[in-house]
Amino acid sequence: MINSNDLVIVPADILDLKSMLAVEQASHQHPWSENMLAESLNGEHRCWVLKHKKQVIGHLIVLPVFDQVELLDIAVCPQQQGMGLGRLLMEHLIQFVKDNHIVSIFLEVRQSNKTAMKLYQNFDFEEIGVRKNYYPCKQGREDAVVMQFTL
C-alpha cells in the first residue's frame, strides 16, 4: 500500500531518465526508447515524474502547442497500477492545463486499452476519431482512439 504522503509529482530531469525508461519498458508493450525519452527531456515537451519515497514509479509527457496540449505518454509501474496513480498524474495534467490557460488536451490510446480509456473518460475526455492501424502490435497493427478534453 502506498501512503499518499510519500508521493510527489515533480518536473523530470536527465537524472530520472534511467528510472523513466524502466517504468516505460515495464508498462508498455511497445515502449519509448531511451533516446525518445531523453529527447523529450531536452525538447519542447513537458515531463513530470511521480515519485514514491524518491523512487520514480510513473511519468507523464506532454507537448504544449499554443492553447492545446497533446498527451504523448503516461506510465505507471505495473506493480503500482490500480492504486489511483494514473488518476494523480491526470489530475496534475488538468491542473497544468488550467494554470496555463490551455483549452484542450488531445491524446491517442490503443483501442484495446480499456483501462486507459476508462481513466480518460472519467476525466470527461470524449472520443473524436480513430486512427486506423496506428499502433504496432504482436499481430499487425491496432487502431488508435483519438480523444479530447476541453475546459
For residue 90, the model assigns a pLDDT of: 96
Binding-site residue ranges for acetyl-CoA: 74-76, 113
Mean pLDDT by 10-residue block, N- to C-terminus, for the chain (151 residues)? 82 97 94 95 94 96 96 95 94 96 96 93 96 87 95 89
Spell out the residues 6+ positions from residue 76 whose beta carbon is closer than 8 angstroms to its own: 23, 27, 50, 57, 58, 85, 86, 89
* pTM score: 0.92
Domains recognised in the chain with CATH numbers: 4-150 (3.40.630.30)
Report pLDDT for 101: 94
- Give me 67's grid cell: 492553447
* φ and ψ of 24, to 5 deg: -60, -50
pLDDT computed for residue 87 by the predictor: 95
108 part of the active site: yes
Of the candidates 39, 91, 108, 135, the residue annotated as catalytic is: 108
Residue 4 is predicted with a pLDDT of: 73
In sequence order, the β-bridge partners of residue 107 are 71, 147
Q: Sign of the CA dihedral 151, 95, 21, 17?
A: positive
